[in-house]
Amino acid sequence: MARYSKLRNWLSLLEGPQTWGRGRVFWAGFLLVVAAASAYPLFADGYDVGNNVYFFNWTFMALGLCLIWGYGGALSFGQTAFFGVAGYAYGILTINFGDAYGFTLIALLAAVGIAALLAAVLGYFLFFGRISGVFLGIVTLSVTLVLERFMAQTAGPEWRIGSARLNGFNGMGSMPSLTIPWPGGDIVLFPDVALYYVTLGLLVLVYLGLRILVNSRFGNVLVAIRENPERAEMLGYDIRKYQLGMFLIGSALAGLSGVLYTSWGNYITPSSMGMTAAALPIVWVAVGGRSDLTATLLGTLLVLACFQALTIYGSQYALVVMGILLVLTVLLVPKGVVLGLASLASRLFSRGKQGATSP
Amino acid sequence: MTLLFEAFTFLYQAGDAFAFLVLSACGLAVIFGMMGVINLAHGEFILCGAYVSASTARMGLPLPLAILCGALVAGVIGMIVERVIIRPLYQRPLDTIVATWGISMIATQGTLILLGSTMPGTGTPFGSFTVGAYSYSIYRLVLMGAALATLLGLWLIFTRTRFGLLARATIQVPHMAESLGVNTSLIYSLTFGLGAALAGLAGGLYAPTMTLVPTMGSAFVVEAFVTVVVGGADIFLGTAPAAAILGVIKAALTSWQGQLFGQIGLLVAVIIVIRILPRGISGWILRERT
């Protein structure tokens, strides 16, 4: 009985002051979206479905950045560093040890763990040194750029770990895809319908998990730190530990994106960490609306779809458009496009109501 | 005698690293110290200076004039950017980083689209001289001189001119300066322009020594960030000593393990330094003084 009430307490945190959306209408909409996303492979070609998993791969990194930046108020430019580290770690582990007996799943956990470990070390120096504001951004960006340059020069044959060549700027390839051990033949998650469902399931889990996290005590303290670090500290919270925890979780999510991307394309390059790549998560989260998980998720998918559509005309043009989008968002709708539209809609709606009631 | 040559080599390398750090960081430091804004488009102002000075030099302008031309163009663009994009964001420092990053993306990719993936440069002038078994580029010595001259020039600007006086007043208490009749928004605009011009100067000075590609700015930014983080907000008490210390570290690591490890070592040093001195060298010096 006690266990049930505990579970109910957890589930009640799915709604709360830190997340947009509550009540029957919202959750009915949520179920509808999930059902539509689940039904999509029934109407589409397996090849297209596999390609579209690409969009989901990035959302974990965006949600992680939303936690760090939107809820914690710390601007980290290092998401792609953890993305790259986890991607390379997955490649090195699976190339060396193969994909039998579900090892790819262990490699997934290990790679995310390695990214989290790196985040813990970096986060320790940053948050316990009380680095905040703009410095946090430029130190994390420096780490990312140096890591990219380091991986780019590993072309020579001396750069190998076990049987995995790092291959410098050309990137590392031919690592196995994620494989689920199954009685009567392993399920290899090639970019196809099976991978789509696994990634979708993971995304729903992470989204709901993060909703619970930010509405829990931990999330409330994070928001208190974002609003006023001194006040949070005076109230007796060791803000450094909370910030470190948030950085760890956000970076591990970036690592998860890295592993999923690497196993999806069987490929990872140093440029996935570079200056341009590092800017993209910022664009998704800023444009979507960094202060809410749902807005970030929708915004990320929206911007990715725009980007994909524009890439037909050349990726340089698409990146210029992304830059313009970023500048315009910051200047005109600092809350983000999705949240801005939502508040505009609710204002129009309530004004309409008022107009109806007043004679 | 060989020991002497070794010592000269090390001094030359440390001086070279010092010049690179000072020149690439001072534009960023001027803007940060003044307004607390980190200009992530810093690398693109360097790019602008390099491209303008290289193209004017190839059109026949003498190199020093071409470099000044690059600095001037970067400065003017900087003032325009400040007026249009940075000014509405002064109350939101984190958003200025994001906005300037957007500018950086636009500038890099725009250059790639408009001018192609490389641009022909000018050769390194002045040739070289020999000490012991090695030969050294004379132009590198010019760069060291230019770094010192830039620091001296900035010191003169900030202590001996009316602009410098008003700028320092604006740094200390902006509202007071404003109520005493200082046009602070003009000061901010000029300071941003000065920072951008210094970035352009760095680009112009280093243009003869590198290949000109649209992403060349990112070769400078890590060093510039690191120097500003270690230095803190004050350019003379922070950036200059930080560049000197980091220059020695970088030269030692570079001669030991190569260029990349110089950079990695620099970054590790910085991450450790911020754990001990969160407000940088200048913050530490100023705290000791009071």
> Which of B88, B108, B229 lies closest to A139 in CB terms?
B229
> Which of A126, A142, A324 lies closest to B222 in CB terms?
A142
Considering A41-50, A239-248, B172-181, the range whose residues carry the highest mean pLDDT is A239-248
The whole-angstrom distance between B39's CA and the closest CA on chain A is 10
Q: What is the mean pLDDT of residues A334-354?
A: 77
Smallest CA–CA distance from A121 into chain B, residue? B271
> Which of A143, A279, A323 lies closest to B267 in CB terms?
A143
Q: What is the mean pLDDT of residues A247-255?
A: 95
Chain A / chain B CB contacts < 8 angstroms: 125
Identify the pLDDT of residue B288: 60
Other CB atoms within 10 A of residue B7 CB: 10
Could you tell me the pLDDT band of residue A358, with boundaries at 50, 70 and 90? very low
Cα A154 to chain center, whole Å? Answer: 27
Q: Six-digit token pair at B268?
A: 């590790």
Query: Residue A35: exposed, middle, or buried by beta-carbon count in 10 A (0-12, 13-18, 19+)?
Result: exposed
List, in sequence order, every residue forming a beta bridge with A179; answer none if it has no partner.
A188
Residue A47 has pLDDT above 60, yes or no: yes
- Chain B CB contacts of A275 under 8 Å are 104, 108, 215, 218
Could you tell me the pLDDT band of residue A356, with boundaries at 50, 70 and 90? very low
Phi first, then psi, for residue B135 (nearest 5°) are: -110, 150
List, in sequence order, every residue forming a beta bridge with A173; answer none if it has no partner.
A267
A309 touching B (Cβ < 8 Å): no
Write the secondary structure of chain A as one string of H (helix), E (strand) and C (coil).
CHHHHHHHHHHHCCCCCCCCCCHHHHHHHHHHHHHHHHHHHHHCCHHHHHHHHHHHHHHHHHHHHHHHHHHCCCCCCCHHHHHHHHHHHHHHHHHHHCCHHHHHHHHHHHHHHHHHHHHHHHHHHHHHCCCCCHHHHHHHHHHHHHHHHHHHCCCCCCCEECCEECCHHHCEECCCCCEECCCCCCEECCCCHHHHHHHHHHHHHHHHHHHHHHHCHHHHHHHHHHHCHHHHHHCCCCHHHHHHHHHHHHHHHHHHHHHHHHHHHCEECHHHHCHHHHHHHHHHHHHHCCCCHHHHHHHHHHHHHHHHHHHCCCHHHHHHHHHHHHHHHHHHCCCCHHHHHHHHHHHHHHHHHHHHHCC
Angstrom CA distances, B213 to A100, A144, B73, B127, B196, stand at 45, 21, 18, 24, 19
Reported as a single tens digit per residue, the pLDDT across B232-258 is: 777 778 888 888 888 888 888 887 877
Domain ranges of chain A: 46-272, 274-350
The whole-angstrom distance between A271's CA and the closest CA on chain B is 12
Identify the pLDDT of residue A355: 47
Q: Six-digit token pair at B75?
A: 């400065």
Query: Residue A155: exposed, middle, or buried by beta-carbon count in 10 A (0-12, 13-18, 19+)?
Result: middle
The whole-angstrom distance between B2's CA and the closest CA on chain A is 33
Cross-chain Cβ contact B105/A322 below 8 Å? yes
Residue B75 has pLDDT above 60, yes or no: yes
Averaged confidence pLDDT in chain A: 86
DSSP, residue by residue, B24-57: HHHHHHHHHHHHS---TTHHHHHHHHHHHHHHHH
Could you tell me the pLDDT band of residue A359, with boundaries at 50, 70 and 90? very low
Cross-chain Cβ contact B222/A135 below 8 Å? no
Considering A308-312, B147-151, B260-264, the range whose residues carry the highest mean pLDDT is B147-151
- Chain A CB contacts of B88 under 8 Å are 331
Torsion A330-A334-A336-A340 (CA) sign: negative
The whole-angstrom distance between B272's CA and the closest CA on chain A is 7
Identify the pLDDT of residue B211: 85
Cross-chain Cβ contact A275/B229 below 8 Å? no
> Which of A129, A130, A316 lies closest to B112 in CB terms?
A316
Residue B260 has pLDDT above 80, yes or no: no
Contact (Cβ atoms closer than 8 angstroms) between residue A216 and residue A13: yes
- Chain A CB contacts of B38 under 8 Å are 134, 137-138
Residue A51 has pLDDT above 70, yes or no: yes
A149 touching B (Cβ < 8 Å): yes
Write the CB contacts of A37 (distance below 8 Å, at least 6 apart in sequence): A200
Residue A63 has pLDDT above 50, yes or no: yes
Identify the pLDDT of residue A1: 55
Q: Does the predicted TM-score (pTM) go above 0.90?
A: no
Cα B155 to chain center, whole Å? Answer: 15
Q: What interface predicted TM-score (ipTM) does this complex get?
A: 0.84
Cross-chain Cβ contact A129/B103 below 8 Å? no
Identify the pLDDT of residue A2: 64
Reported as a single tens digit per residue, the pLDDT across B122-173 is: 777 777 777 777 777 888 888 999 999 999 999 898 888 888 888 888 888 8
> Which of B95, B104, B263 lies closest to A146 in CB terms?
B263
Q: What is the mean pLDDT of residues A316-326?
A: 88
Pick the more confident residue, A8 or A326: A326
Cross-chain Cβ contact B106/A324 below 8 Å? yes
> Which of A125, A133, A142 lies closest to B275 in CB terms?
A125
Could you tell me the pLDDT band of residue B228, with boundaries at 50, 70 and 90? confident
Q: What is the mean pLDDT of residues A84-108?
A: 87
Phi first, then psi, for residue B124 (nearest 5°) are: -70, 125
